[in-house]
Amino acid sequence: MTAHIIQPGGWLGLLGGGQLGRMFTMAAQSMGYRVAVLDPGEQSPAGSVADRHIRADYLDPEGLRGLAELCHGVTTEFENVPAKALDYLAAHCSVSPGADAVAIAQDRIREKQFVRSCGVDTAPFVPVLAASDVDAAPADLFPGVLKVARLGYDGKGQVRVATRDEARAAFAQLGDVPCVLERMLPLEREVSVVVARRATGETVTFPVAENGHAHGILDISIVPARVSPAIARRATEAAHAIAEGLRYVGVLCVEFFVLPGDDLRVNEIAPRPHNSGHYTIDACVTSQFEQQARVLAGLPLGSTAQHCPAVMVNLLGDLWFPRRLAPGAADAPVEPAWATVLAHPAAKLHLYGKRDARPGRKMGHVTCLGATVEDALATARTIRAELGIEG
């Protein structure tokens, strides 16, 4: 199959106005493309840097028509985009990823079943569509985690359950919506692989990232991951197999659990660039966002070679509310000391242009580069301490 090429100067469209869209927009513009963003927010990270911001709901007929008439190709920056919007756009221009692939990633039940159909392991699980499914669940799924099948992210929509009674209560707490109950696994590490695939089938993978989370949100990524060569190879092969099985077109992230004995299990897939791939902007020949633009424009993929080890630290809105405030002081946001961060020559600061800082909100990231992983980690630890990031 040959890919239709959109030449620089043409318009690329984006559904979603968040930070992933902002970084895609900047990458596409650096290649000479113009970008139109469809997003309902008045102020959005992507909309503020795009060549055109179509402020409309994702299902707004006029907004979708305007995006389709202007753009030669459209992509997304989040997986919960309505399938109807993708179907409408696909009838008028090229869309990647396709609605079918996104629909699988939107539903944990379908996602886990699909991953297994690719010959890749997941945690043991059962679908929970009614309270009776909890009663019928195998006893070896406890203790476990009950997760909503749709719209869960950053640890939201998940409840740890030790017993069947707790699982019934959690199912009611989550609103009696479709869920999956999966066994709690003895994790040694969490890793992820970002893969890019063209319509032609050309596929590349980025180095494996080792990820640490805090309160369900990605806290730090270490690349290359501190895992055995066998685990790195198997994770890369599994990500490639999933992208092929989906006939995926675009950038995809596959997250894994690493268990004792080099046991590897897929946790979930994200049909878009991923937080754990942000290091690619500064540490790789081609970033995940440039790959996304290349795929959408029908261009050959770039090299994923890593220049040097990197550690990415997420910057959340909590930093704007230091606990050092005097008793009785107003809880007003305080801009962090970015000059302190940039005093480290190998630190690369990325802020997302969000005007309102809130605890738990992703406001930016800093990537620390080094001759070795240990060097990059040392810089990251120092910066975290200077900013007051715990852990």
Average pLDDT for residues 187-195, to the nearest whole number?
Answer: 97
Please name the residue that has the structure tokens 């440039």: 290
Measured between alpha carbons, how far is 83 from 87 in angstroms, rounded to an integer? 6
pLDDT band at 1 (very low <50, low <70, confident <90, very high): low
Helix (H, G, I), strand (E, B) or coil at 213: strand
Other C-beta atoms lying within 10 Å of the C-beta of residue 119: 10
The per-residue pLDDT for range 358-375, each reduced to its tens digit, is 989 999 999 999 999 999
Topology, domain 11-95: Rossmann fold (3.40.50)
Architecture per CATH, domain 124-183, reads as 2-Layer Sandwich (3.30)
Question: Which CATH entry fits the domain spanning 189-387: 3.40.91.50, 3.40.50.800, 3.90.1150.10, 3.30.470.20?
Answer: 3.30.470.20
Amino acid occupying residue 175: G
What are 60-110's pLDDT values in tens digits?
999 999 999 999 999 999 888 888 899 999 999 999 999 999 999 999 999
Would you kindly state where each structural domain of the chain is located, as residue ranges? Answer: 11-95, 124-183, 189-387
Cα–Cα distance measured from residue 66 to residue 232, given in angstroms and rounded to the nearest whole number: 44
Query: What's residue 326's pLDDT?
Result: 46
DSSP string over 329-384: ---------HHHHHTSTTEEEEE---SS--TT-EEEEEEEE-SSHHHHHHHHHHHH
Assessment of whether the complete model's pTM goes beyond 0.75: yes
Comparing 29-33, 312-316, 354-358, 375-379, which segment has the lowest mean pLDDT? 354-358
